[in-house]
Amino acid sequence: MAIQTHDELLTTIKDALQACGYVGELGGGSLQTRTPMTGEDLFAIEGTTKEQATEMIALADEAFKSWREVPAPRRGNVVKRWGQLLAEHKHDLGLLVQIEAGKSISEAEGEVQEMIDICDLALGQSRMLYGKTMPSERPGHRLMETWHPIGVVGVISAFNFPVAVYSWNTANALVCGDTVVWKPSEMCALSALGAHALLSRAIADCGEDQNISQLILGDRNVGEVLLDDPRVELVSATGSTRMGREVAPRVASRFGRYLLELGGNNAGIVTPSADLDLALRGIVFAAAGTAGQRCTTMRRLIVHESIADELVDKIVAAYKTLTIGDPRDESVLVGPLLHQGAYDDMQQALKTAKEQGGDVLVGGERVLVDDSEKSFYVQPAVVRMPEQSDIVHNETFAPILYVMTYSDFNEAIALHNAVPQGLSSAIFTENNSEAEIFLSASGSDCGIANVNIGTSGAEIGGAFGGEKETGGGRESGSDAWKAYMRRSTNTVNYSGELPLAQGVKFL
């Protein structure tokens, strides 16, 4: 889209929200929205108080009592309709994502496409909430398991994927028979209003109870209500490892469930047999795309010493061609950092890297766009590092790629696994043995392991999540739906006798 004036941007936001079905007023509230594209404030909107959040949980809890009795295929009709509305308003919601997260329109609409895809998957899942039948050791008995809804699901989502991760949880939770209370990032409240409005329309179109979906807006203080309320059976939280350390014990202290998607610090290994042109494309997108603000961003590159100089030269040359600027310009590849805090973190990380022996080959400089001091654009950085530097163990949510070398493949695996995070990983190789080792139990210790593609760009059909300090949660596809249900083991005795298991005799 063309670059707009600030007033034109505000009109675009109002039009997009109205198209999605939002009918509230903008302005005069306690929660200030902002765009990283220009650094300008947008609208002040009404936030949610803790008391209101508690009331919404109560409404969702009451709605659950009838929603759980609705046949699962009928529940699937709600997400089917939601997907249809998302497809119809893909551009409208994509604009809101672009404005608040600073993504290119291609990436922003791609995020909405993820929402559409998860609705398709969840619709099919609504007819496949399978249990098992197992052989009983007792004659005339049937042993089986069934799956039931758990109740209210609280979803806490982050700014970098303001609507997609919410939909991964919500589409699955709704078809499983749960109700949802969503607390989005306060930095992306407008996107949340649009996504929630579309779901509300879908619920109304299907004639179901509007209270099965609730939206609370505000900072971490209002989100904490979800952590402590015993009616919230599951808290699915996406954010930093620091946040996860606070969420997990609080929810566990009341014996609630939690699903965590936390820090990344993802690495790629490049072996001597790799197709370097293919590797180059995968690395640059994974490391510099979305200005390094994906949880799956490639932050470490471990390259065989025999090809390191050649590959690094190619990466540096590619970085120098990256277009940096306002993502509304369709020629731009790298948009803004979220705010000054992200910029300051990047500068501190680069300073520390230099102190630990790192050599910044390209990047790190601030790029002024339209002479604005309120927005924070940067040149993505590539840094050659000694293998054992402490800084590479920390995730900085900015476009910094640390490059290290190895001589032995086992050394590469050890370097890869040496960090506390375990989300996504990649290897570039034409050696089948290296690929299989990387995917084996003695290879990558991450929840996602890729061969000949980068660390970012996961598909809906697979379970998304990671190990170690990434939190261990799984969302989206595969059997991730089970997180939103409880398992019941059932034994039916139709024998007319009462034999006990394990041959126990009593009476």
* CA–CA dist 98, 61 (Å, integer): 33
Same domain, 213 and 346: no
Same domain, 170 and 271: no
Same domain, 330 and 252: no
Same domain, 324 and 371: yes
Give whole-number Cα distances, 158 to 20, 42, 185, 363, in Å: 21, 19, 5, 26
Instruction: State which of 217, 240, 262 marks the end of a domain.
Output: 262
Same domain, 245 and 166: yes
Same domain, 243 and 379: no
133-152: pLDDT as tens digits:
999 999 999 999 999 999 99
Q: Which of 261, 395, 434, 469 is catalytic?
A: 261
* Domain CATH code at residue 10: 3.40.605.10
* Strand (E) or helix (H) holding 248: helix 241-253
Same domain, 395 and 380: yes
CA angle 259, 261, 265 (to 5 degrees): 155
Same domain, 364 and 256: no
Same domain, 258 and 273: no
| Structural domains counted in the chain | 2
The reply to whether 477 falls in a domain is no
Joined together, the tokens standing for residue 482 give 């089970």
Which among 182, 192, 216 is positioned nearest to 100, based on CA atoms?
A: 192
* Strand (E) or helix (H) holding 10: helix 6-20
User: What is the full DSSP assignment across 131-162?
Assistant: -EEE--SSTTEEEEEEEEE-SEEEEE--SSST
User: What is the full DSSP assignment across 276-345?
Assistant: HHHHHHHHHHHHHGGGG-STT-EEEEEEETTTHHHHHHHHHHHHTT--BS-TTSTT-SB--BSSHHHHHH
Please provide the distance, in angstroms rounded to a whole number, between the alpha carbons at the two ends of the chain: 81
Fill in the amino acid letter for 311.
L
Please identify which residue in the block is written with the tokens 């180059």.
280
Structural domain of 360: 266-459
pLDDT at 1: 60
Q: Are 167 and 115 in contact (CB under 8 A)?
A: yes
Instruction: State which of 232, 262, 292 marks the end of a domain.
Output: 262
Instruction: State which of 218, 244, 262 marks the end of a domain.
Output: 262
The reply to whether 396 falls in a domain is yes
Give whole-number Cα distances, 81 to 167, 171, 204, 214, 362, in Å: 13, 11, 10, 18, 47
Q: What is the pLDDT along the chain (507 residues), one digit of tens a residue?
A: 678 999 999 999 999 999 999 998 898 888 999 999 999 999 999 999 999 999 999 999 999 999 999 999 999 999 999 999 999 999 999 999 999 999 999 999 999 999 999 999 999 999 999 999 999 999 999 999 999 999 999 999 999 999 999 999 999 999 999 999 999 999 999 999 999 999 999 999 999 999 999 999 999 999 999 999 999 999 999 999 999 999 999 999 999 999 999 999 999 999 999 999 999 999 999 999 999 999 999 999 999 999 999 999 999 999 999 999 999 999 999 999 999 999 999 999 999 999 999 999 999 999 999 888 999 999 999 999 997 799 999 999 999 999 999 999 999 999 999 999 999 999 999 999 999 999 999 999 999 999 999 999 889 999 999 999 999 999 999 999 999 999 999 999 999 999 998 989 887
261 counts as catalytic = yes
Full-model pTM: 0.96
The reply to whether 66 falls in a domain is yes
The reply to whether 476 falls in a domain is no
The reply to whether 48 falls in a domain is yes
Q: Within a 13 Å sphere around the CA of 501, how many CA atoms are in the beta-carbon half?
A: 8
Same domain, 252 and 317: no
pLDDT at 256: 98
Same domain, 214 and 309: no
The reply to whether 489 falls in a domain is no
Furthest C-alpha separation in the chain = 88
The reply to whether 338 falls in a domain is yes
Give whole-number Cα distances, 365 to 350, 354, 355, 399, in Å: 10, 15, 18, 11
Same domain, 410 and 394: yes
Fill in the amino acid letter for 314.
K
* Domain CATH code at residue 329: 3.40.309.10
The reply to whether 491 falls in a domain is no
